[in-house]
Structure 1
Amino acid sequence: MISYVLSLLLLCSIGSAFYLPGVAPNDYIVGDSIPVLVNSLTPSGDYDLKSLIAYDYYHPNFDFCQPEDGPKQVSESLGSILFGDRIFTAPYKLKLLENQECVLLCAKTYSPKPSRFINRRIREHYVMNMIVDGLPVARVHKNSATGEEFYSSGFALGEIHDGTPYLNNHLNFEIEYHVTKSGKYRIVGVSVYPASKQSTVDDLGNPDCSSTVLISLDSDSATEVVYTYSVSWKESATPWATRWDKYLEVEDSKIHWFSIVNSSAIVVFLLGMVGVVLLRTLHKDISHYNELDLDSGSQEETGWKLVYGDVFRPPSHPLLLSVMLGSGAQLLLMGTTVIVFALMGLLSPSNRGSLPTVMLLVFALYAFFSGYVSARAYQIFQGENWKLVVILAPTLVPSCVFSVFVMLNFFLISKGSSGAVPFGTMVLIVFIWFLISVPLSCAGSYCGLKAKAYEAPVRVNQIPRQIPTQPTYLLLVPSILCAGILPFGSIFVELYFILSSLWMHKYYYMFGFLFLCFGILIATCAAVSILFVYFLLCAENYNWQWRSFMFSGGTAIYILIHSLIFWVTRASGFNFASAVLYFGYSFILAGLVFLLTGFVGFSASFIFVDRIYRAIKID
Structure 2
Amino acid sequence: MTYSTSNRYQEGTADPQMPTSPLSNCPVEYIHMIDGQFTVKMSPVEFLRYIDQKQNEELLLKSLVSLPGWLMGRCFEAERAENRAKNRSSTLLPCTETIGHKNERAYILTLGPFSNDTQLDFWRMVWQSNCKCVVMLTALREGDKKKCMQYWPEESGECGPFFIIIRNSEQFNNYVVRQMIIRKKEETRRLVHFQMTSWGDAKRHMKIDTLLQLRTSVNSITFGDAAPIIIHSGPGISRIGTYISLDILLRQGSGDNIIDIIDTVVKLRSQRAYILNARKEHQFLLRALKVGFSPNQDGAAEETKDDESEEDLYVNAQGKGDIYYEDGEEVVLWMNTVGPYHNRQETYSYFSLPFCAGPKESIGHYHETLGEALQGTELEFSGLDIDFKGEVKKTEYCSVELTQDKFEAFVYAVKNHYWYQMYIDDLPIWGIVGEISDSGEDFYVWTHKKFDIGYNGKQIVDVNLTSEAKKKLSPGAKISFSYEVHFTPSKIKYEKRFDKYLDPNFFQHRIHWFSIFNSFMMVIFLVGLVSMILMRTLRKDYARYSKEEDLDDMEKDLGDEYGWKQVHGDVFRPASNALLFSSLIGTGYHIAVVTMCVIIFSILGDLYTERGSLLSTAIFVYAATSPVNGYFGGSLYARMGGKVWIKQMMVGAFMLPLAVCGTAFFINFIAIYYHASRAIPFGTMVAVTCICIFVILPLTLVGTVLGRNLAGQPNYPCRVNAVPRPIPEKKWFMEPSVIIVLGGILPFGSIFIEMYFIFTSFWAYKIYYVYGFMLLVFVILTIVTVCVTIVCTYFLLNAEDYRWQWTSFSAAASTAGYVYLYSFYYFFFKTKMYGFFQTTFYFGYMALFSLALGIMCGTFGYIGTSYFVRKIYSTVKID
- With structure 1 as the length reference, what TM-score do the two structures score? 0.84
Between the aligned partners of 1:290 and 1:22, the Cα distance in structure 2 is: 70
Alignment of 1:60-71 (within 5 A): 61-70=353-362
Say whether residues 1:232 and 2:490 are aligned partners. Answer: no
Q: Deviations over 1:512-570 (max 9, x none)?
A: 11111111111111111111111111222111111111111011101111111111123
Say whether residues 1:53 and 2:342 are aligned partners. Answer: no
Q: Deviations over 1:1-56 (max 9, x none)?
A: xxxxxxxxxxxxxx99xx99996343445444322222122443xxxx34631111
Secondary structure at 1:122 match in 2:
helix
Between the aligned partners of 2:614 and 2:357, the Cα distance in structure 1 is: 32
From 837, 841, 859, the equivalent of 1:599 is: 859
Aligned twin of 1:131 = 423
Q: Deviations over 1:328-359 (max 9, x none)?
A: 11111111111111112x24334322211110
Between the aligned partners of 1:442 and 1:29, the Cα distance in structure 2 is: 51
State the one-letter code of the partner of 1:588. L
From 369, 380, 384, the equivalent of 1:92 is: 384
Change (3 A) 1:308 1:417: same
Change (3 A) 1:105 1:118: same
From 240, 244, 247, the equivalent of 2:501 is: 247
Between the aligned partners of 1:269 and 1:196, the Cα distance in structure 2 is: 61
Secondary structure at 2:572 match in 1:
coil
C-alpha displacement of 1:89: 1.9
Aligned twin of 2:629 = 370
Aligned twin of 1:467 = 727
Alignment of 1:156-171 (within 5 A): 156-162=432-438, 163=440, 165-171=443-449
Instruction: Flag the structure with more relative contact order, 1 or 2, with Cα contacts below 8 A and sequence separation at least 6.
Output: 1
Secondary structure at 1:58 match in 2:
helix
Q: Deviations over 1:366-387 (max 9, x none)?
A: 1111111111111222223223
C-alpha displacement of 1:305: 1.8
Q: Deviations over 1:468-523 (max 9, x none)?
A: 33333333443223211211111112211212221225422111111111111111
From 746, 749, 756, the equivalent of 1:489 is: 749
Secondary structure at 1:194 match in 2:
strand
Q: Deviations over 1:53-102 (max 9, x none)?
A: 1111222x333324432473212221111111112222222234444332
Contact residue 366 and residue 379 of structure 2 kept, 8 A: yes
Say whether residues 1:583 and 2:837 are aligned partners. Answer: no
How many residues were matched structurally? 557
Secondary structure at 2:776 match in 1:
helix
Deviates more, 1:99-108 or 1:591-600: 99-108
State the one-letter code of the partner of 1:239. K
Change (3 A) 1:231 1:66: closer
Aligned twin of 1:498 = 758
Aligned twin of 2:321 = 24
From 38, 42, 54, the equivalent of 2:335 is: 38
Bigger Rg, which one:
2
Q: Deviations over 1:441-469 (max 9, x none)?
A: 11111122223511211122233222233
Alignment of 1:162-311 (within 5 A): 162=438, 163=440, 165-178=443-456, 184-198=457-471, 215=472, 217-218=473-474, 221-252=475-506, 253=508, 254-290=510-546, 292-294=548-550, 296-297=552-553, 298=556, 301-311=561-571
Contact residue 23 and residue 350 of structure 1 kept, 8 A: no
State the one-letter code of the partner of 1:55. Y
Contact residue 335 and residue 422 of structure 2 kept, 8 A: yes
State the one-letter code of the partner of 1:444. G
State the one-letter code of the partner of 1:136. P
Deviates more, 1:93-102 or 1:365-374: 93-102
Between the aligned partners of 1:447 and 1:110, the Cα distance in structure 2 is: 67
State the one-letter code of the partner of 2:418. Y
State the one-letter code of the partner of 1:512. G
Contact residue 42 and residue 505 of structure 1 kept, 8 A: no
State the one-letter code of the partner of 1:197. K
Structure 1 runs (4+) greater than 6 angstroms displaced: 19-23
- Can you give the 5+ residue segments of structure 2 that lack an aligned partner in the other structure? 1-303, 305-312
Alignment of 1:363-512 (within 5 A): 363-451=622-710, 452-512=712-772
Q: Deviations over 1:294-341 (max 9, x none)?
A: 562449642212221221122221111111111111111111111111
- Can you give the 5+ residue segments of structure 1 that lack an aligned partner in the other structure? 1-14, 138-153, 179-183, 199-214
Between the aligned partners of 1:561 and 1:132, the Cα distance in structure 2 is: 40
Contact residue 317 and residue 494 of structure 2 kept, 8 A: no
Contact residue 25 and residue 240 of structure 1 kept, 8 A: no
C-alpha displacement of 1:117: 3.1
Q: Percent identity?
A: 32
Contact residue 317 and residue 493 of structure 2 kept, 8 A: no
Contact residue 502 and residue 766 of structure 2 kept, 8 A: no
State the one-letter code of the partner of 1:174. D
Between the aligned partners of 2:679 and 2:635, the Cα distance in structure 1 is: 39
Secondary structure at 1:166 match in 2:
strand
For the aligned residue pairs, the C-alpha RMSD in angstroms reads: 2.5
Contact residue 21 and residue 348 of structure 1 kept, 8 A: no
Alignment of 1:317-356 (within 5 A): 317-344=577-604, 346-356=605-615
Between the aligned partners of 1:26 and 1:448, the Cα distance in structure 2 is: 46
Change (3 A) 1:52 1:185: closer
C-alpha displacement of 1:426: 0.6
Change (3 A) 1:552 1:67: farther
Change (3 A) 1:165 1:21: farther
Change (3 A) 1:22 1:430: farther
Contact residue 74 and residue 87 of structure 1 kept, 8 A: yes
Between the aligned partners of 2:383 and 2:695, the Cα distance in structure 1 is: 41
Deviates more, 1:304-313 or 1:155-164: 155-164
Deviates more, 1:62-71 or 1:443-452: 62-71
Between the aligned partners of 2:524 and 2:413, the Cα distance in structure 1 is: 48
Contact residue 38 and residue 131 of structure 1 kept, 8 A: yes
Change (3 A) 1:534 1:161: farther
Deviates more, 1:252-261 or 1:471-480: 471-480
State the one-letter code of the partner of 1:57. Y
Secondary structure at 1:541 match in 2:
coil
Between the aligned partners of 1:573 and 1:522, the Cα distance in structure 2 is: 32
Q: Deviations over 1:207-254 (max 9, x none)?
A: xxxxxxxx2x34xx3342211122233332222221111112312212
Secondary structure at 2:723 match in 1:
coil
Say whether residues 1:78 and 2:370 are aligned partners. Answer: yes
Aligned twin of 1:520 = 780
Secondary structure at 2:743 match in 1:
helix
Aligned twin of 1:148 = none
Between the aligned partners of 1:20 and 1:273, the Cα distance in structure 2 is: 52
Between the aligned partners of 2:407 and 2:563, the Cα distance in structure 1 is: 73
Change (3 A) 1:187 1:319: same
Secondary structure at 1:63 match in 2:
coil
Between the aligned partners of 2:737 and 2:435, the Cα distance in structure 1 is: 49
Change (3 A) 1:465 1:506: same
C-alpha displacement of 1:123: 3.5
Between the aligned partners of 1:561 and 1:240, the Cα distance in structure 2 is: 42
Contact residue 67 and residue 89 of structure 1 kept, 8 A: no
Deviates more, 1:439-448 or 1:285-294: 285-294
Between the aligned partners of 1:62 and 1:119, the Cα distance in structure 2 is: 11
Contact residue 587 and residue 652 of structure 2 kept, 8 A: yes
Between the aligned partners of 2:319 and 2:713, the Cα distance in structure 1 is: 47
